[in-house]
Structure 1
Amino acid sequence: MSLSVAQGFTKSLAMTVLSEIGDKTFFAAALLAMRHPRRLVLSGCLSALIVMTILSVVVGWAAPNLISRKWTHHVTTLLFLGFGLWSLWDAVKGEGETEELAEVEAKLDADWKASSGSTKTSSKDDDDLKKLRRSILTQFFSPIFLKAFSITFFGEWGDKSQLATIGLAADENPFGVVLGGILGQALCTTAAVLGGKSLAAQISEKIVGLSGGVLFIIFGIQSFLSTV
């Protein structure tokens, strides 16, 4: 493994782990695994995160070819410094994780109540008709898999970790960033599915937030001091 790949891998892995613990998608995977088979939830969430990581790296890799390398370097530096200060602010306020958990729980509870209510009121004929009208995609994939995939994919879209991955891929070896990002997502998602809610309760939210903020700032300073 070359030095550039190793550097991109290490940065991406550390950034992903510290960004995803206690994130919306982390709690979504944990809550889904409490009510659905863990295998389907894990495969759905992890597939979405892998696709999102690859898309983010492709965008970051293509950015220097569309915009001046100097400008992408400066934007990446500002992104890291900005995300670092953002993470530190959230950690000091100490409200982020509690609010995210409550928001995800409320959203998923409303979804489950709506689906269970419609199931109770529908007749057998309606169920058969729905099965006939079911799309080709849901015939090959479990609805639980698709639900976990869609919740994770759209929950991660535009998130801090996605933007940070784009910035990192613009400044580091894209192959290393992909490997580190996928490994980090796999570790976090597996931890969430196996017991994310209890794990998040045992890990200090403030320590995770401060660690992530410091890491982003270190990346920003390193990017600022390095040559284009």
Structure 2
Amino acid sequence: MYAFLLSTAVIFVAELGDKSQLMAMTFATRYRVRDVLIGITVATAVVHLASVAIGAAAGVAFGEYQGAISVVAGLAFLAFAIWTLRGDELTEEEASKARRSTGAAILAVGTAFFLAELGDKTMLATVTLATQEDWFGVWVGSTLGMVVADALAIGVGAVLGRRLPERVIRYGAAIAFALFGALLIAEGLGLL
């Protein structure tokens, strides 16, 4: 349960202000919200299943170096904080592709999200969490955290339009990543 709750929270925060939230809002202007959320859920579940497999394998292979893994994971979270501060924007070309997508809505959204998430910070955060936590809890929690964050973006986007408080979201997410990173480093160094 701890892995599930931690992963849900971390990935929810990681997804705030991410490019895929902008994609979700763009797709929701073209397709039914239900279809967009199904596509996001399927794509996220597949990408995060691969992520936890990689992370769990690394955790087992390097399990005797748990302190070092915590320090490396903490440094990764500090990097995610910097990445979040840098920002992530949907280019006009990406938005145009999302609007022009043809074919079944779920397939179009799922494919776009699958490709967008490969190598994204949420995928890397999921790998990092799976090095130390139960893979199933991380998988379900990370998938839920991302879907909830994207659903929230669709809802807020529908209500507020494009006037989202991006700076507040970006700084809040970066602070959360930095705190997670500092705690992991302190744990890895035996300070906690």
TM-score where L is the length of structure 1? 0.71
Cα displacement (A) at 1:158: 0.3
Q: Are residues 200 and 221 of structure 1, via their aligned partners in 2, closer, same or farther at CA, if it must alter by over 3 Å?
A: farther
Matches within 5 A, 1:106-121: 106-110=93-97
Q: Are residues 192 and 61 of structure 1, via their aligned partners in 2, closer, same or farther at CA, if it must alter by over 3 Å?
A: same
Distance 1:203 1:171 in 2: 34
Cα root mean square deviation, aligned: 2.6
TM-score where L is the length of structure 2? 0.82
Percent identical among aligned pairs is: 30
Cα displacement (A) at 1:80: 1.1
Q: Deviations over 1:47-104 (max 9, x none)?
A: 101222222112111112234542533321220122123324x2xxxxx35xx13x0x
Distance 2:142 2:161 in 1: 20
Higher helix share: 1
Aligned residues: 187
Matches within 5 A, 1:167-206: 167-194=128-155, 196=157, 198-199=159-160, 201-206=162-167
1:155 to 105, 112, 116: 116
Q: Which residue of 2 aligns with 1:76?
A: 73
Q: Are residues 65 and 187 of structure 1, via their aligned partners in 2, closer, same or farther at CA, if it must alter by over 3 Å?
A: same
Cα displacement (A) at 1:150: 0.8
Q: Which residue of 1 aligns with 2:83?
A: 86
Distance 1:21 1:199 in 2: 16
2:4 to 9, 13, 23: 9
Distance 1:69 1:196 in 2: 46
1:45 to 40, 43, 51: 40
Matches within 5 A, 1:24-63: 24-63=19-58
Distance 2:180 2:164 in 1: 24
Higher RCO structure (Cα 8 Å, ≥6 apart): 1
- Secondary structure of the structure 2 residue equivalent to 1:172: coil
1:218 to 174, 179, 182: 179
Segments of 5+ residues of structure 2 without an aligned counterpart are none
Q: Are residues 170 and 110 of structure 1, via their aligned partners in 2, closer, same or farther at CA, if it must alter by over 3 Å?
A: closer
Segments of 5+ residues of structure 1 without an aligned counterpart are 91-95, 116-141
